[in-house]
Amino acid sequence: MGVDRRRFGLGRAVRTPVVLGVLALLLAGCASIPDSGEVEPVKASPAGESQVRVYAVPPREKAGPAEIVDGFLEAMTSDDPDFAMARKYLTPEASRYWQPGAGTTVLRAAPDPAVPKEASGSDSGGLTYPLYGDRIADVDSSHAYQPLDPTAYNGTIHLVRQNIGGTKEWRIDDLPQGLVLGESDFQRNYRSVNKYYFASGENWLVADPVYIRQRIDPTSRMDPVTQAVRVLLDGPTNWLKPVVDSPFPSGTALQKGTTSLEFDDRNALKVPLNEKASKAGRTQCRKMAAQLLFTLRDLTATPVGQVELLADGSSLCVLSGDQAEEFAPDRTTGRPDNPYYVDDRGRLSLLQAGGGESVDRSQVIGPLGKGDLKLGWVGVARDEKHAAGVTKDAKSLYVSSILADSEPGDPLVTSKGPNEKERLSAPSWDGRGDLWVADRDPANPRLLRFADGEGEPRTVTVDGLDGARIEGLRVSADGVRVALLLAKDGRTTLQIGRVERHGSAAEPVVSVVELQSAAPQLETVTAVSWAGPSRLVVVGKEQGGVQQVRYMQTDGSTSASSVLPGLNQVTAIAAADDDQQPVVADSEDAGIVRLPTGANWQTMVEVGSSPVYPG
């Protein structure tokens, strides 16, 4: 099976591929399904082995204390209803207070029980088994993933001997709350899903990534679709809550007893809600349905046809997938995005790739495409009517139309930094039409925002920089999150900040708060781009490793399949909100290259720089 194996007590649960006859074999008392040779329980499934399933088994009679600990740790990784088999390893009192849904501690590898601290196994004292591992993330009770710099995990499991069926048996009477899982088991059991809420005071949706069970949730017995609806109704995660709204009336929940939601043959879904939902008006209900439609997209192989919301059995509203597009977070022009770049003469140019391998190159209209201003970095507004260009020496920022010819005008801002690397960063446009840029001048480092891409620069305060300098940035399409490359002590890390707006709509005071790590696995990050509502494409290196290009979730989670084909000397990366569009990169070895779906990197332009999609 390709699974790492390690001998433990016979009480261990069993991992096996899902095959016909598994249930019958388990009922017959088999611990695994061998073709030949010795039956061996298995410790942990390797990353990517998604078909491996764990079937928990109860402790055997007169099992030793180490066997009880091993069996319980393995049973935690199963899909057993309410972790019934895992609870058989606990005393009745411990089973009552243990709450698997309280949260999940994610370790780099499965927790490793050490030799018990007490030398004696007396009835009164029992045994305490230390648990060790590298803690890399926590998932809280609201399903939010929080990456951590690897730290030592130190938990304990305590056992006592109890009378069971007339014999003294070892059972666990004290243990950590929640689940403790190795990373591969976590990835096998859970999947990332975006739930959606509205940007505060706006009419577009914002992705809020959480983790739900891949299959039936052991605690609630809900299927993945129903789990996704429930976590949406529970409200946004704590980190996102200050900048989003949910139109669901307070107290709205699934109708009591709902554990399964099924699509009909038109891929339409009826969602039964409790009486609280009946307070919603029609306009409000349409927005509620849009939240559900976008949330369910990640869970269906084909597009969701429509969602109908019910309250106490009565229809509230119906919304189709096409109608929900008016609330889309990217709100594009409706035509496929094409990448832009700076050509070998310092001009803003457009790259158009046809159905074949040919690439058309053309300079845009206006001063940024003429070549009078030698450009180093560019950013194109999401409506593709205007663009921003930073001069090759990184001193000055210009904005002009790319639909009509005009004069360049005066720069919006000029940096006084002593050299190119200590002046202006590449610019970025948010979905509101505002332009952002960082001035890296050591004497006056600033994050600047230009409302509607014009006028005076407004300084954006950033909490939690702790002496770091902003090297680069990319603002999300929804305008409520910003990806920052922060340089400090010779390292450049990737952080995601929440964009908060206070004051009047005409003159908002904008700040970036509560930075959180988005690529803790990488020692240094070179480039970043948004690649969808909650996904980034990142260029960086692990400690002691080589440069890699990989996808990361904004919550810092990743998977083994997220690494893209190798590419050397990447200095810039760009991805579109539409995942059907190829990733584009600037490689010192290969020029401007693209990565079509299912293919390898292909050179588009041999000489060029600063590839970007609108945004």
Residue by residue, DSSP assigns 253-296 as: -BPTT-------TTSEEEEEE-GGGGG--HHHHHHHHHHHHHHH
pLDDT at position 474 is 98
pLDDT at 500 over 90: yes
pLDDT at position 44 is 40
Distance CA(113)–CA(156), nearest Å, equals 9
Average pLDDT over residues 511-519: 95
pLDDT at 174 over 50: yes
pLDDT tens for residues 65-74?
Answer: 999 999 999 9
pLDDT at position 313 is 87
Q: pLDDT class for 376, splitting at 50, 70, 90?
A: very high
pLDDT at position 561 is 66
CB-based contact 30:63 (threshold 8 Å): no
Say which residue the tokens 């720069």 belong to: 411
CB-based contacts of 86, cutoff 8 Å, min separation 6: 56, 72, 75, 76, 78, 80, 100
Average pLDDT over residues 301-329: 92
pLDDT at position 572 is 96
pLDDT tens for residues 402-447?
Answer: 999 988 899 999 999 999 999 999 999 999 999 999 999 999 999 9
Q: State percent of the chain over pLDDT 90.
A: 75
Number of Cβ within 10 Å of residue 64's Cβ equals 14
pLDDT tens for residues 58-110?
Answer: 999 999 999 999 999 999 999 999 999 999 999 999 999 999 999 999 999 99
Q: Which of 18-22, 218-222, 298-302, 456-460 has the lowest mean pLDDT?
A: 18-22
All domains of the chain, ordered by start, with CATH?
A: 4-189 (no CATH), 247-327 (no CATH), 340-612 (2.120.10.30)
pLDDT at position 291 is 97
pLDDT at position 49 is 42
Phi, psi of 155 (to 5 degrees): -120, 175
**What is the total residue count of the chain?**
615
Phi, psi of 600 (to 5 degrees): -105, 175
Q: pLDDT class for 357, splitting at 50, 70, 90?
A: low
pLDDT at position 335 is 63
Distance CA(295)–CA(208), nearest Å, equals 9
Distance CA(372)–CA(380), nearest Å, equals 18
Distance CA(605)–CA(395), nearest Å, equals 26
pLDDT at position 201 is 92
Mark out the alpha helices in 139-204 (DSSP H runs).
183-189
CB-based contact 375:402 (threshold 8 Å): no
Residue 120's H or E segment, with its range, is: none
pLDDT at 22 over 90: no
- Contacts of 442-445 with C-beta under 8 Å, sequence gap 24+, read 442/417, 442/418, 442/469, 443/416, 443/417, 444/416, 445/469, 445/470
pLDDT at position 578 is 84
Average pLDDT over residues 499-522: 92
338: left (phi over 0), alpha (psi -120 to 50) or beta: beta
pLDDT at position 2 is 34
**pTM of the predicted protein model:** 0.88
pLDDT at position 5 is 27
Q: pLDDT class for 374, splitting at 50, 70, 90?
A: very high
Number of Cβ within 10 Å of residue 498's Cβ equals 20
Most confident listed range (333-337, 356-360, 484-488, 574-578): 484-488
SS3 (DSSP) at 62: coil
**Sign of the CA dihedral running 513, 516, 522, 523:** positive
The mean of the pLDDT values for the chain is 88
Say which residue the tokens 């260009």 belong to: 389
pLDDT at 601 over 70: yes
**What is the DSSP code (8-state) at residue 31?**
S
pLDDT at position 118 is 67
- Angle at CA 529, nearest 5°, toward 527 and 534? 130
pLDDT at position 40 is 39
pLDDT tens for residues 241-286?
Answer: 999 999 999 999 999 999 999 999 899 999 999 999 999 999 999 9
Is beta strand 508-517 parallel, antiparallel or unpaired with respect to 461-462? Answer: parallel
Average pLDDT over residues 370-399: 95
